[in-house]
Amino acid sequence: MAQQKTTFGGIDILRFLAAVLVMFYHYGFWVWAFPEGVSARATGGIPPHPEIGGLVQFGWIGVQIFFVISGFVIAFSAERSTPLRFFEARVKRLAPAVWICAPVTAMVLLFVDLSWPTDAVTRLMRTALFVPFNPWVDSVYWTLGIEIAFYAVVWILLRLGRFDLMEAVAVALGAISTLFWCLYYPFDWSDLAEARWLDLLLVHHGCFFATGVLLWLMRFKAVTPARLVFCALFLAGGVLQIISAVD
């Protein structure tokens, strides 16, 4: 029997708003604020509407919102799934968009003379194969490796038949991530904050995924004092991460 698909109207709206935030951030701010980026190089670093730069400069927070949503939705969808169905669902979710958009970006790189053909092909292949390290056809693909790392954690639990440990694993991820950001300023971990391997170990963003998982637990299981405390703690860790990025 086919699984009945469940949708969450509120989450879909929140996901759309987060996407809009990120889109306008790239359109009105990132296009000139990051000169090495593809957008800046393609446009000469000239924003199409400079007057909105100040309004959209924090739109990147939409990415963190996506991570929270992912923690909620992935936990919900994985609970009654199998390792194979979960894997297939993630591939169907990610691959089509990447395999359509990445070639378009590669062609743009060639069209505006931002890349040699061999370099463009290399970047395209790395992007299409979801290689978690640069170079990609565009730096915005950095989030995919982090998402896939979280998917891998959930898949392993399913494969081991221990999805009942999802809460414990989420709390561990959230605690490690929050501790990292609590120690970020006292120990001046600015270099570690840029380390890609810590991205992929979910040290930087685990607090967001953990928050999403706890929200799922409180929505569909039970609201407990421990879950409320952990959720508040991980939200605080998320705030520290955002503050560090602003600095």
Q: What is the CA radius of gyration of the chain?
A: 19
Give me the residue label for tokens 């593809």: 38
- Do residues 178 and 237 make contact, with C-beta atoms less than 8 angstroms apart? yes
Mean pLDDT of 157-170: 98
Give the model's pLDDT for residue 55. Answer: 79
Give the model's pLDDT for residue 45. Answer: 65
Give me the residue label for tokens 């709390």: 171
Report angle CA 80, 212, 19 to the nearest 5 degrees: 105
Structural tokens at position 26: 């790239």
Which of 188, 191, 190, 184 minimizes the C-alpha distance to 207?
184
Mean pLDDT of all residues belonging to the chain: 91
Structural tokens at position 29: 């701010």
Q: How confident is the model at residue 148 (pLDDT cuts 50, 70, 90)?
A: very high
Cα 229 vs. chain centroid, distance in angstroms?
Answer: 24
- Do residues 51 and 123 make contact, with C-beta atoms less than 8 angstroms apart? no
* Rounded Cα–Cα distance for residues 207 and 36 (Å): 29
CB atoms within 10 A of CB 51: 8
* Rounded Cα–Cα distance for residues 158 and 160 (Å): 5
Give the model's pLDDT for residue 1. Answer: 39
DSSP 2: P
Residues in the chain: 247
Which of 147, 134, 129 minimizes the C-alpha distance to 36?
134
* Rounded Cα–Cα distance for residues 164 and 158 (Å): 9
At 75-108, the pLDDT tens digits run 999 999 999 999 999 999 999 999 999 999 888 8
Structural tokens at position 61: 């927070």
**Domain spans of the chain, in order of start:** 9-59, 60-246
